[in-house]
Chain A
Amino acid sequence: METTVAKKIVIKTENIAKTYHESKIPVQALKDVDLEIEEGEFTAIVGPSGSGKTTLLNIIGGLDKPSKGKIIIGDTDISNLKESQLIDFRLHHIGFVFQQYNLIPVLTAKENVEFIMLLQKKSEKEMEERAMKLLKEVGLEDKAKVRPSELSGGQQQRVAVIRALASRPKFILADEPTANLDSASAGNLLDMMARMNREENMTFIFSTHDQRVIDKARRVVTLEDGMIKYDEVR
C-alpha cells in the first residue's frame, strides 16, 4: 500500500490584507490572502507589477505588518510581535536575498557572509569555517578578502545568497534575486539555491518576474490585484 507522508506546514497566512494609506486614496495591496507553505518548498510568487508579491514577501518575512489577518511562521504568530521581537525573529529564522544584493560595502565577502552569524553571537571558529565552506561551494573562495565593489553582479548576489544561508535559517525569502543578473549568472545562482534547498532542507520563497526562476520553482503562486489567482504545484 502506498503511503504519503504529510509535510509540515511552516508558513501559514490567514486572511491577510494590507492597505497602504500613504496617499489620499488608500491602496489595497493584499486582499484576504490565505497561503500555506510546507517545509522545504521552493516556491515562486509571481504576478504583474503591483500585484502584491513584494508586500506578501515582506509580511511573511516580518518586515511589514498586515492590516488584517494572521501570519504564523513555524509556531509563532508574528503578526502580534513587537518591532524589536520581529527583528530578533528575522535574525534567527529568516534569511533575506534582495534584488540589489545589499552587501555591506565596507566589509569583505567573507565578513559579509559572517555578519548574520556574528549578530547571532556564533563563535569565531564556527563563523570562519561556515563562511569559507560556503564561499568555496559558490566558487568564491579566492574572493574572500575582496570587498563587494570589486565583485561582479553575479558574484555579489552569490555572496548575498550565502550570507542569507550561512546561519542556517528555516526560510529564505528572495525578492527578485535574479533581476539584475545575466542569464549565466542567474542560472548558476538558481542551481546553487536549488542545491541548498535540497541539501539543507531550507524553505525558499521567491518573489519574481523572471521566467528562469519560475521554471525552477516546484510551486508557483500567482497573485493578481492582491489576491491569489493560481496556485500550481509541480
Chain B
Amino acid sequence: MLIKIAWRNVWRNKGRSLVVIGSIVVGIWALLFMLGFMNGFTVSYINGAIEHEISHIQIHHPKFKQDYDIAYSIPNGLSLKEALSSDPKVAAISPRSFANGMISSTRKANGVRIYGIIPELEKHVTHHDSLLTAGTYFESKQRNPVIIGNELAEELKVDINSKIVLTFQDEDNNLVAGAFRIAGLIETSSPSINKFTAYVKMEDFNRIAGIGQNIHEIALFLSSPNDEAPLMDKLKKEHPDLLIESWRTIAPELELFLSMTDSFLWVLFGIIMIALIFGIINTMLMAVLERYRELGMLMAIGMNKWRVYMMIVIETVFLSLVGGPLGIIIGLATMNWLGIHGIDLSAYSEGLKAYGYDSILYPSIENNIYIFVTIGVIITALIGALYPAYKAIQLNPTKALHTV
C-alpha cells in the first residue's frame, strides 16, 4: 500500500512531476552526452597516438633512448621480431632503424627523426598508408623513396617527387647523407609526425648508415588493449636485458591526459548530481508542504514516522526511476547515433589538429558507465529525499490537522 500511495502521489500533481522527470531526463542526457563527448575526445587522442605513432609496446636497447645513439641496436633484433610475430596477442609488428638527423631541400633545412622501416610491416602498425594526402606508400619503383608529413613538406617547400637530403651520424659518428625522393605525404593527428618525421625504407637507411641488419626499435600493435599488461609482464620476464615500454611510459602525457579527463568527468558527474539533488529537494519539499495536513492525518490515525518517511523516499525514488531510465535511453540512442555518424568539428580542424585530434569526433561511452549513472541517479534521489522526508516526520499532527 505504501508503494501504491507513493506511486499515485507521484502523479497527483502531474505538471510538477513531469517538470522534475523532465529535468532528470535532460540532466542525465546532458551528463551522458558530456561523458561521451569527453571520452570520445580522449579515445580519439589516445587511439590516434597509439594507432599512428606510438603503438602499444616498443622495445629498445636499454641505452638507446638516453642519446638515441645509432650504435645501440637491439641484439638479434630481426630474430626477436620473428619470434614475437608468432604471439597471438600481437596483431602487427614493425622493426625500425632510427636516427635523429637533418632534412634539407633546395630551399630549407630542418631537424628530423628518420625511421628506416619495412613498409609492408609498418603500415599494419602505424596505418600511415591510410593517411596519405599525396603520392603512394612506397609503391613506386623509384630509388630511395621517403614519406614525410604535409607540414614538413610545406616548411621545406617540397612536393611529391621533390628531392631532399637526409643527413645523420653513422655508428662511427661520421656524418652520412643520402638523397631521397618524396614518394608520399601524410597527415596524421600527431604534430610531431607531421612536422618532424621522415620514413624511409630500412634497406636504404641501413645501407647509408652502414649498420647491416641492425634495428633500434620494435613496435608492437596488439590485438586488444587488454593484452597489454600480460604481454608486458611476459616480455619483461623473457627479455630482462631489453627496454620494454608500453605507450603509458613512452608517452606519459597520454596517461596524464587520461587521468585528467577522468577527474574532469568525475567533477562533471558530481556537479550534475548536486544540481539534481537540489531539484529533487525543492520538488519534494513542495510536495510535503502541500500535503502537510494529509501527512498530519496519517500520523494521527497511526501511521508511524518510519512509514511516513519511507513513503516520501519511495515517492522520490519513483520520480527518478521514471526520469532516469528515460534519460539513459535517450542518452544511449544519442551516443549510438553519434558513435556511427560522429560530430563534425571540421570548422575547428586546424586548432584540433595542432593538438593531435581528428576533425570528426565519435563520442563513446563504456557500457558500465550507463549502469554507473543509473546507480548514481538512484543514490542522488535517495539523498535528495532525505531532507523532505525528515521535514515530513517533524510535523506535529495536531498543528498539521488545523492547517488550511
Residues of A participating in the B interface, judged by any CB pair closer than 8 Å: 58, 61, 63-64, 84, 87-88, 90-92, 95-96, 98, 100, 102, 104-107, 111, 115-116, 118-120, 163-164
CB interface residues, B 78-101, toward A, < 8 Å: none
**B304 with A102: CB separation less than 8 A:** no
Cα A115 to Cα B303 in complex, Å, equals 10
**B8 with A84: CB separation less than 8 A:** no
What residue in chain A is nearest B6 (Cβ atoms)?
Answer: A106
B297 within 8 A of A: yes
Residues of B within 8 A of A104 (CB): 5, 294, 298
B109 within 8 A of A: no
Residues of A within 8 A of B302 (CB): 87-88, 90-92, 116, 119-120
Residues of B within 8 A of A102 (CB): 293-294, 297, 401
Residues of B within 8 A of A64 (CB): 398
CB of B304 to closest CB in A, whole Å: 5
Residue in contact with A84 in the complex, picked from B297, B301, B304, B398, CB distance below 8 Å: B304
Residues of A within 8 A of B12 (CB): 105-106
Q: Which among B12, B293, B297, B307 has the highest number of chain A CB atoms within 10 Å?
A: B297
CB of B190 to closest CB in A, whole Å: 63
Residue in contact with A107 in the complex, picked from B5, B293, B397, CB distance below 8 Å: B5
CB of B298 to closest CB in A, whole Å: 7
CB of A22 to closest CB in B, whole Å: 9
B299 within 8 A of A: yes
Residues of B within 8 A of A100 (CB): 293, 401
Cα A116 to Cα B298 in complex, Å, equals 9
**A84-B305 contact in complex given A63-B300, A106-B9, C-beta closer than 8 Å:** yes
**B1 with A118: CB separation less than 8 A:** yes
What residue in chain A is nearest B397 (Cβ atoms)?
Answer: A63
Residues of A within 8 A of B303 (CB): 87, 91, 119
Cα A115 to Cα B298 in complex, Å, equals 10
Residues of B within 8 A of A96 (CB): 297, 300-301
CB of A213 to closest CB in B, whole Å: 19
Cα A120 to Cα B301 in complex, Å, equals 11
CB interface residues, B 282-310, toward A, < 8 Å: 293-294, 297-305, 307
CB of B72 to closest CB in A, whole Å: 80
CB interface residues, B 1-52, toward A, < 8 Å: 1, 4-5, 8-9, 12
Residues of B participating in the A interface, judged by any CB pair closer than 8 Å: 1, 4-5, 8-9, 12, 293-294, 297-305, 307, 397-398, 401
- The 10 A-B residue pairs whose C-beta atoms are closest, nearest first, are A91-B302, A106-B8, A102-B297, A90-B302, A63-B398, A87-B304, A64-B398, A118-B1, A58-B398, A63-B397
Cα A149 to Cα B212 in complex, Å, equals 96
CB of A181 to closest CB in B, whole Å: 18
Cα A61 to Cα B299 in complex, Å, equals 12
Residues of B within 8 A of A115 (CB): 1, 301
What residue in chain A is nearest B11 (Cβ atoms)?
Answer: A106
**24 A-B contacts (beta carbon < 8 Å):** A63-B300, A63-B398, A84-B304, A87-B299, A87-B303, A88-B302, A88-B304, A90-B302, A91-B302, A91-B303, A91-B304, A95-B301, A98-B297, A100-B293, A102-B294, A104-B5, A104-B294, A104-B298, A106-B12, A111-B1, A119-B301, A119-B303, A119-B307, A164-B301
Residues of A within 8 A of B293 (CB): 100, 102
Residues of A within 8 A of B298 (CB): 104
Cα A107 to Cα B293 in complex, Å, equals 16
Cα A98 to Cα B403 in complex, Å, equals 13
Q: Which among B294, B302, B304, B305 has the highest number of chain A CB atoms within 10 Å?
A: B302
Residues of B within 8 A of A164 (CB): 301
What residue in chain B is nearest A163 (Cβ atoms)?
Answer: B301
Residues of B within 8 A of A91 (CB): 301-304
Residues of A within 8 A of B300 (CB): 61, 63, 90, 96
Residues of A within 8 A of B9 (CB): 106
What residue in chain A is nearest B307 (Cβ atoms)?
Answer: A119
Residues of A within 8 A of B301 (CB): 90-91, 95-96, 115-116, 119, 163-164
Cα A119 to Cα B311 in complex, Å, equals 13
CB of B396 to closest CB in A, whole Å: 9
Cα A100 to Cα B404 in complex, Å, equals 10
CB of A112 to closest CB in B, whole Å: 11
CB of B315 to closest CB in A, whole Å: 11
Cα A98 to Cα B299 in complex, Å, equals 13
Cα A117 to Cα B373 in complex, Å, equals 40
Residues of A within 8 A of B307 (CB): 119
**B401 with A98: CB separation less than 8 A:** yes
CB of B58 to closest CB in A, whole Å: 67
Cα A180 to Cα B170 in complex, Å, equals 107
Cα A32 to Cα B302 in complex, Å, equals 28
Q: Which among B8, B293, B301 has the highest number of chain A CB atoms within 10 Å?
A: B301
Residues of B within 8 A of A63 (CB): 300, 397-398, 401
Cα A116 to Cα B303 in complex, Å, equals 8
Cα A106 to Cα B4 in complex, Å, equals 9
Residues of B within 8 A of A88 (CB): 302, 304
Residues of B within 8 A of A116 (CB): 301-302
Residues of B within 8 A of A111 (CB): 1, 4
CB of A156 to closest CB in B, whole Å: 13
Q: Which among B9, B294, B300 has the highest number of chain A CB atoms within 10 Å?
A: B300
Q: Which among A92, A118, A119 has the highest number of chain B CB atoms within 10 Å?
A: A119
CB of B399 to closest CB in A, whole Å: 9
Residues of A within 8 A of B8 (CB): 106-107
What residue in chain A is nearest B304 (Cβ atoms)?
Answer: A87
CB of B291 to closest CB in A, whole Å: 9
Residues of B within 8 A of A119 (CB): 301-303, 307
CB of B352 to closest CB in A, whole Å: 55
Cα A102 to Cα B403 in complex, Å, equals 12
Cα A96 to Cα B103 in complex, Å, equals 97
